[in-house]
Structure 1
Amino acid sequence: HGFRKAETTQRCLEAELYFYARIFGFDLADPVEPVRIENL
């Protein structure tokens, strides 16, 4: 696989950051579009 668009790479990184914020219970400094996390 490979992400060629900058927007796609940015969205993936934001989704990963959102996941970590939910798991470890910290607030994000900037708003990020939520990601549905199953079994949480």
Structure 2
Amino acid sequence: MAVPAGTKKKEAPSEPFKRALGLAVRAIAGDEQVQVNYAP
């Protein structure tokens, strides 16, 4: 999800963690189609 240069908003501190967790869950499941959702 690339954002064009100059329009990049500051990323929330939790976003890198969410991306890493999603990748880890998919790897452990052995299924790249697994979806990880977060609720407030």
TM range (shorter): 0.3 to 0.5
TM-score (norm 1): 0.47
Q: Which has the higher contact order (CA 8 A, sep 6+)?
A: 1
TM-score (norm 2): 0.47
As a proportion of its length, which structure holds more helix? 1
